[in-house]
Copies of this chain bind each other. A is one copy, B any other.
Amino acid sequence: MLICLNTMTENVYIGSKPVINYVTALVTALQREPKVNVMARGRAISSAVDVVEVCKRSFLKDIQIEDILIGTEQMGDGDDLRNVSTIQIVLNKDA
């Protein structure tokens, strides 16, 4: 039997669309769950920070940044194998 202990956390993945698209996704995610992870890889890491800062500044002034984790993921295979940096920004509405 598989028990999911993580029902209270939602992930918002940041890509190359305009920042405001992800801000609305993040605001709605925080309305559903108290804890949301903002995840990004490579060039989108800067946008992830923008999304969180815009959200904090303009929409949800009381959200707390609980943790920020950085790491590396291997992408591609063979000759195309490369390391890509990642970021995970853990936001908490209730903290």
Contacts from A to B (Cβ < 8 Å) = 42-46, 49-50, 52-53, 57, 65, 68-72, 83, 85-87, 89
Contacts and interface: CB of A to CB of B under 8 A. Distances in A.
A20 B69 CA distance: 22
Contacts of A42: 46
A89 B70 CA distance: 10
A72 B85 contact: no
A83 B53 contact: yes
B53 A71 contact: yes
Contact of A68 (B44, B57, B68, B85): B68
A13 to B, nearest CB: 15
Given A45-B45, A46-B45, A49-B45, A65 B70 contact: yes
8 contacts: A42-B46, A43-B46, A45-B49, A49-B85, A50-B85, A53-B83, A53-B85, A68-B70
